[in-house]
Amino acid sequence: MYIDGKWIDTKSGRTFAVHNPANREIVDHTPDGGSADTAMAVDAAYKAFGSCLALTAYQRTGYLYEAHRLMMENLDYLASVMITEQGKPIRAARAEVKYGADFLLWFAEKAKRNYGRTVPAPRADQRFIVLHQPVGVVGAITPWNYPVSMITRKVAPALAAGCTIVIKPAGATPLCAREVFMIFKKAGSSAGVITLVTASDPAPVDGLFLQDPRVRKLTFTGSTEVGKILARDAANQMKRISLELGGHAPFIVCRDADYCL
């Protein structure tokens, strides 16, 4: 796991195996985090929030541009990790890495355009000004089917806005997340600004995201069924949520399909 600027094991020492979906061989083992590890990650993110506030929009932009450069520089390697861990064809894997890097570029520019506005007032001695400010610590849960781009899609806007973020990737694809966080670290992220908790069981991690009042926003991409649960439980604290739910476009793979395309 990546917490407070360091690569660490879980408090329990537990790990879980990551399998190649094509042949079920074990690719690697990764830390199996729980609620205690997530609490440690939230602690680090909460403490780092002040340093995020101190950064200018142009400094945040510069970081995201550097992360984009490194991601494109390592495009083929990231794609190879995705192929081994998640089973995506090479062309689709390379396309996803590029797609994920594009989020870094897009929000790098959005960081510099976090404009407020002035609202007309009913009295001559009044002025209403709208300011956009970061909410604080963000808890993010990403799916297995887009293991790289869904991370950058959540990390990039959080950092552009000046938030800190804790990511819990899908249990099937923690290695892609690890490689992306290596890039974030190399790009120069400060300790605690981005944190990574890997887990085979999402319940303890998600539960802490919902229960800890320091996690001010929750973002989730996944099933409608789980999304409903998260939305219901987040309402108890009036926690901000962003949900991308459900799937579409089912298809049939015939026996004579060329899987290398």
Per-residue pLDDT tens digits for 58-111: 999 999 999 999 999 999 999 999 999 999 999 999 999 999 999 999 999 999
> Which of 3.90.1150.10, 3.40.50.720, 2.60.40.10, 3.40.605.10 would CATH assign to domain 2-6+31-114+131-245?
3.40.605.10
**DSSP one-letter string for 39-97:** HHHHHHHHHHHHHHHHS-HHHHHHHHHHHHHHHHHTHHHHHHHHHHHH---HHHHHHHH
* Domain ranges within the chain, ordered by starting residue: 2-6+31-114+131-245
Give the strand pairing for 117-119 and 128-130.
Answer: antiparallel
Q: At what angle do helices 57-73 and 75-86 cross, to 10 degrees?
A: 70
Per-residue pLDDT tens digits for 148-166: 999 999 999 999 999 999 9
User: Tokens for 226?
Assistant: 């789980």
Q: At what angle do helices 174-187 and 75-86 cross, to 10 degrees?
A: 160
Percentage of residues of the chain with pLDDT beyond 90: 89
How much is the pLDDT for 252?
A: 79
How much is the pLDDT for 124?
A: 92
Q: 249 falls in which pLDDT band (50, 70, 90)?
A: low
Phi-psi region of 192 (alpha: psi -120 to 50; beta: other; left: phi over 0): left
Does this model's pTM top 0.85? My answer is yes
User: Tokens for 245?
Assistant: 């739910």
How much is the pLDDT for 234?
A: 95
Q: Name the 3-class secondary structure at 236.
A: helix
